[in-house]
Amino acid sequence: MGVPHVFAAAFGVEVNAFSPLATGRHDFAALCHHQAGALGDDVPLIAAPLVPLRRLQAAGQISLSEGMVAAAQPGGLLTRATYEALAGELLADLASAGNVDLVVLGLHGAMSAHGLPDCDGDLIMRVRQLIGPRARIAVLFDSHGTLSAAMVEAADLLICYKEYPHTDIADCAERLIDLAMAILRGEITPAKAVHDCRMISVYHTMHGPMQALVADLRARETAGEALDISIVHGFVWADTPDTSARILVTTNGDAASARRIAREIGAQLRALAGTTHAPLVPMQAAVARAAAVSTPPLLLADTADNPGGGAPSDATWLLEALADAGVGNLAAGIIWDPVATELALAAGPRARLALRVGGKACSLSGRPLDLEVDVLATSDQASVPFSGREWPMGKAAGLHVPALDWYLVVSTLRTQCFAPEAFSRLGIDPAARRVLLVKSSQHFYAAFRAIAADILIVDAPGVLDHDPGRLPYRHITRPIWPLDP
């Protein structure tokens, strides 16, 4: 073979089946949609394999054709038309690339559309149909993806991120491309095995037993037991027949070893059931702590309304409880409320106006808050930094509520409250507050721990409820822990 021809593209979104927000074309346009060849040097995380691939191309080791790169803020089910349009764009890019030896896809893995629960499996199968049986397919996806039989069957190589928070995406992309190139050279022949743990949960890998488990699988990889061992966490808020934690092991041609290792890692994960995430603090207990803060600021993470998991980010349950308890000198954000934001922008800085904030997207958002506010600052194009990038907030306003001594940030785009800049760029000093409320589960931590004296992950109502027993699953395969013993 001469220089291999590689086609690479990326398409993904994390879908929360319980979110009322249909994900459409405009959600990709708002975050990330680059047509074939239009992506510059700033490679989004979903397209991480492009970094090593571009390096190989520059070194003359491959010929690279780049296709579409599209990602959206997590939300509810994709409209079927959106999925078909974007999948069609990616497949057309692939078709016009001509004969390829390798297709590399950056996916999320938990993408579902109306009437199509396994978009990722569907997409990989359609790629397979287009390129035939001989060319190879290598896929990098998020550990919150849902691993389906279709994905495993249609792809030669599948690797998901090992760490949550996802600090190892670039490393996993390098590993994927190293292995894919070795496959093309005929040096290795992947043999895959899957073990289904029949459990749904959240798995933090930066401390405790999950950290040890990830260290164990890395040691097994280093020792040559397997080419890759991926713990596919699954996504608690997906609701598909494949939603479950699954272990995917890839060895060099040894299917029996792959099955044994998958079983062993699966047993280790099952043994950790219930211990893999930080305990949540009940809402009323968190409010009591906020009312009695001695060392400010206390940070409350409203994890059930995290837009990073597809929630609307406009829930008011926790805010209402804090108001009832008389908790002042509080800053909260980023509240998704396009109407309130537009009204604040129209009034402009230093204006005082009556504003109805939050509680609009669905019944799980709670009641709207009717507040008299002073506009502190506004922006037509706000953003918040995270992981070396700026994440768009759309239009945004910083507000002060004199009656409660609250500071609020509202925006027209749903974005996680990743960093204190979400407040400080809109005229609010977060470090000077007694209580901070952030709409985020996990990714706020790195930037906020520098200013927060204490952090509570709060168990409030919302679309991203952390108790699977309270979620209205309809399609998940039973039995599964913790819904069934």
Residue 207 CB, shortest distance to Zn ion, in Å, is: 18
Q: Which is nearer to Zn ion, 110 or 373 (CB)?
A: 110
**CA distances in angstroms from 23 to 28, 48, 65, 78, 118, listed in the order given:** 8, 23, 28, 4, 15
Q: Which is nearer to Zn ion, 77 or 94 (CB)?
A: 77
* In the complex, residue closest to Zn ion by CB: 144
Residue 213 CB, shortest distance to Zn ion, in Å, is: 17
3-state SS assignment for residue 254: coil
Q: Which is nearer to Zn ion, 411 or 441 (CB)?
A: 441
Residue 403 CB, shortest distance to Zn ion, in Å, is: 39
Pairwise CA distance, residues 98 & 131, whole Å = 9
What per-residue string of b and e applies to 5-25 under the rule 16 or more CB within 10 Å gives b? bbbbbbbbbbbbbbbbbebbb
Structure tokens at 88: 């069609």
Pairwise CA distance, residues 121 & 150, whole Å = 5
Q: Which is nearer to Zn ion, 160 or 355 (CB)?
A: 160
β-bridge mates for residue 9, sequence order: 105
Q: Which is nearer to Zn ion, 235 or 336 (CB)?
A: 235
Q: Which is nearer to Zn ion, 144 or 195 (CB)?
A: 144
Residue 10 CB, shortest distance to Zn ion, in Å, is: 15
Residue 233 CB, shortest distance to Zn ion, in Å, is: 8
Pairwise CA distance, residues 78 & 82, whole Å = 6
Q: Which is nearer to Zn ion, 144 or 395 (CB)?
A: 144
Q: For the CA atoms of the chain, what is the radius of gyration?
A: 23
Pairwise CA distance, residues 420 & 426, whole Å = 10
Q: Which is nearer to Zn ion, 165 or 392 (CB)?
A: 165
Size of the site for Zn ion (CB under 5 A): 2
Residue 450 CB, shortest distance to Zn ion, in Å, is: 24
168 touching Zn ion, by CB under 5 A:
no
Query: Which segment (144-152, 177-185, 370-378, 407-415) binds Zn ion by CB under 5 A?
Result: 144-152
Pairwise CA distance, residues 46 & 124, whole Å = 16
Residue 299 near residue 405 (C-beta atoms within 8 A): no
Out of 33, 34, 128, 144, name the contact with Zn ion by CB under 5 A: 144
β-bridge mates for residue 386, sequence order: 389
Pairwise CA distance, residues 303 & 456, whole Å = 10
Q: Are strands 32-34 and 63-71 parallel, antiparallel or unpaired?
A: antiparallel
Question: Of residues 284-313, which lie at the interface with Zn ion (CB under 5 A)?
Answer: none
Residue 448 CB, shortest distance to Zn ion, in Å, is: 19
Q: Which is nearer to Zn ion, 27 or 142 (CB)?
A: 142
Question: Of residues 124-143, which lie at the interface with Zn ion (CB under 5 A)?
Answer: 142
Helices (H) and strands (E) in the chain, counts: 13, 18
Question: Of residues 197-226, which lie at the interface with Zn ion (CB under 5 A)?
Answer: none
Give the residue carrying structure tokens 């190892």.
168
Residue 30 CB, shortest distance to Zn ion, in Å, is: 19
Residue 105 CB, shortest distance to Zn ion, in Å, is: 16
Residue 431 is given by DSSP the state G
Structure tokens at 270: 């099952």
Other C-beta atoms closer than 10 Å to the C-beta of 160 total 25
Nearest to 312 by CA among 337, 283, 331: 337
Q: Which is nearer to Zn ion, 142 or 320 (CB)?
A: 142
Residue 108 near residue 123 (C-beta atoms within 8 A): no
3-state SS assignment for residue 346: helix
Q: Which is nearer to Zn ion, 296 or 468 (CB)?
A: 468
Residue 350 CB, shortest distance to Zn ion, in Å, is: 41
Structure tokens at 89: 């764009």
Residue 142 CB, shortest distance to Zn ion, in Å, is: 4
Residue 465 CB, shortest distance to Zn ion, in Å, is: 18
Q: Which is nearer to Zn ion, 141 or 407 (CB)?
A: 141
Residue 451 near residue 297 (C-beta atoms within 8 A): yes
Give the residue carrying structure tokens 């397209």.
47
Q: Residue 152: phi, psi to the nearest 5?
A: -65, -35
Pairwise CA distance, residues 330 & 290, whole Å = 9
Q: Which residues bind Zn ion (CB under 5 A)?
A: 142, 144
